[in-house]
Amino acid sequence: MSRYKDLYKSKVRPGLQEKYSYKSPMAVPRIEKVVLSMGIGMAVHEKKYLDNGIKDMTAIAGQKPMVCKARKSVSNFKLREGMPIGLKVTLRKARMYEFMDRLINLTIPRVKDFRGLNPKGFDGRGNFSMGFVEQSVFPEIDAANIDTPQGVNITFVTTADSDEESYDLLKLFGMPFRERK
């Protein structure tokens, strides 16, 4: 069993159950999945950008990403319906906990001038989104082999009913949030 799953069972769940007085441990919010996405607009012009993105996302997530295709044609962007323009990966269970462990303990501390995650990244339904400007912050990526930097978006989907519960859930996991104002 992964460290973060043990952490959830030993520290996070009891802490949330005590704070919000849940009657059952099954009512305590948990993280359902983590979704990673990467927009690759340059893939319209050259396929190599898509291939590099797939290679990088596979290294980051530990599983092969799904290619997202354009739904509409946009002539100004030379984009036709069905062209590949992005990638996404959904992580659940063991892979999700392993990714969270690497993200919190290895990736986030590598970000230069990091002042904490923005607590305004919640969507009102208990989900949290964050992003990186380029994929080189991940330790799995060799910065010397990157042709063009691509942004990576990460969304934590939780079973929490409110942003406050989700904030406390992620805070107990060790997410380094900025102080709320």
Residue ranges of domains in the chain, CATH in brackets: 29-173 (3.30.1440.10)
Question: pTM of the full predicted structure?
Answer: 0.90
Whether 176 and 137 have beta carbons less than 8 Å apart is answered as no
Digit-by-digit pLDDT tens for the chain (181 residues) are 689 999 999 999 999 999 999 999 999 999 999 999 998 877 667 888 888 889 999 999 999 999 998 888 888 877 788 888 899 999 999 999 999 999 999 999 888 888 899 999 999 999 999 999 888 888 888 877 787 888 899 999 999 999 999 999 999 999 999 987 6
Neighbours of 43 (CB within 10 A): 21
- Distance in angstroms (rounded) separating the CA atoms of residues 92 and 86: 20
- DSSP class of residue 122 equals B
Q: What is the C-alpha to C-alpha distance for residues 83 and 80, in angstroms, rounded to an integer? A: 6
Calculate the dihedral angle through the C-alpha atoms of 104, 130, 91, 98, rounding to the nearest 10 degrees.
Answer: 0
Which pLDDT value is given to residue 5?
93
Six token digits for residue 167? 């904030």
